[in-house]
Amino acid sequence: MNALIPRPRSHPAPGAVHVPGWLSLDEQRELVTACRAWARGPVPMRHTRLPRGGVMSVQTMCLGWHWRPYAYSRIAHDVNGARVAEFPDVLSELGRRALADAYEDEAAGAAYAPDTVLINHYGEGATMGMHQDKDEKSSAPVVSLSIGDTCVFRFGNTETRGKPYTDVELASGDLFVFGGPSRFAYHGVPKVRPGTGDPATGLAAGRLNLTLRVTGLTG
């Protein structure tokens, strides 16, 4: 990213907000360090297997609730049968701050109580097809944080995988929130730009994305 070119915040769709450079370099570094620790288990990062035999190109781990296509559970039956780690307080706090800043609404931030995070690592060539985040039983917003290589984040509509959509460049430190009328919009990552991340984040290569969500589940 060329720091001389300002990247203003944008609203690609109603309820969807992109806030460039939201995380400081120190915060990014702390998150990378934390992700490394979380990746050690009890449920390790893995390429998720899809029901029809495919394997996702990203590697994913979860905290709070474990996601597998297409449901959440406390036990990672598709990985190692272990119970997922608790949802960390540090991410609850970060989620509340993110929502308050993105929506410029302190009350919305204070009321936000994410209980799961999906942490994706995009290695060489990894992408994510257009999909909806719809296994949550809650319409609370999704808070997305990106670290490392810049990607093209395709943010679409709630009806189809296709157009209309907006391509947004998500760079290291960027925040993207989608809620309200955009909560169940299709989105994906058609491209990651290798070598665009700053190694000072602690991530030497690839892209890390954290999505904080409210599952709406209990138990």
Ligand X SMILES: O=C(O)CCC(=O)C(=O)O
Binding-site annotation: residue ranges for Fe cation:
131, 133, 187
Question: In the set 78, 133, 135, 198, which binds Fe ion (CB under 5 A)?
Answer: 133
């985040």: which residue's tokens? 133
Secondary structure tally for the chain: helices H, strands E? 3, 14
In the complex with ligand X, the residue whose CB is nearer, 112 or 176, is 176
Q: Which helix (H) or strand (E) holds 154?
A: strand 151-155
Q: Count CB neighbours of 140 within 10 A.
A: 21
Residue nearest to ligand X (CB): 209
CB of 207 to ligand X, least distance (A): 7
Q: Which one of the spans 13-21, 61-69, 89-97, 129-137 is the region binding Fe ion (CB under 5 A)?
A: 129-137
Q: Are the C-beta atoms of residues 54 and 127 closer than 8 Å to each other?
A: no
Q: Are the C-beta atoms of residues 151 and 170 closer than 8 Å to each other?
A: yes
Q: In terms of C-beta density within 10 A (0-12 exposed, 13-18 middle, 19 or more buried), how is residue 181 classed?
A: middle
128 binds, among Fe ion, ligand X, none (CB under 5 to 8 A by kind): ligand X
Amino acid making up residue 96: R
Distance CA 122, CA 194 (A): 10
Give the three-state DSSP class for 86. coil
Question: Shortest CA distance to 190 belongs to which of 131, 138, 147, 130?
Answer: 130
CB of 133 to ligand X, least distance (A): 5
Q: Which one of the spans 14-22, 126-134, 165-173, 195-203 is the region binding Fe ion (CB under 5 A)?
A: 126-134
Residue nearest to Fe ion (CB): 133
61 binds, among Fe ion, ligand X, none (CB under 5 to 8 A by kind): none
Residue 167 region by backbone torsions, left for phi larger than 0, else alpha for psi between -120 and 50, else beta = beta
Write out the binding residues: 131, 133, 187
Q: Which one of the spans 85-93, 102-110, 131-139, 202-210 is the region binding Fe ion (CB under 5 A)?
A: 131-139
CB of 131 to Fe ion, least distance (A): 6
Q: Applying CB under 6 A, which residues contact ligand X? A: 118, 120, 128, 133, 144, 153, 170, 187, 189, 209, 211
144 binds, among ligand X, Fe ion, none (CB under 5 to 8 A by kind): ligand X
In the complex with Fe ion, the residue whose CB is nearer, 187 or 202, is 187
Distance CA 145, CA 212 (A): 8
In the complex with Fe ion, the residue whose CB is nearer, 38 or 176, is 176
Residue numbers at the binding site for Fe ion (CB under 5 A): 133
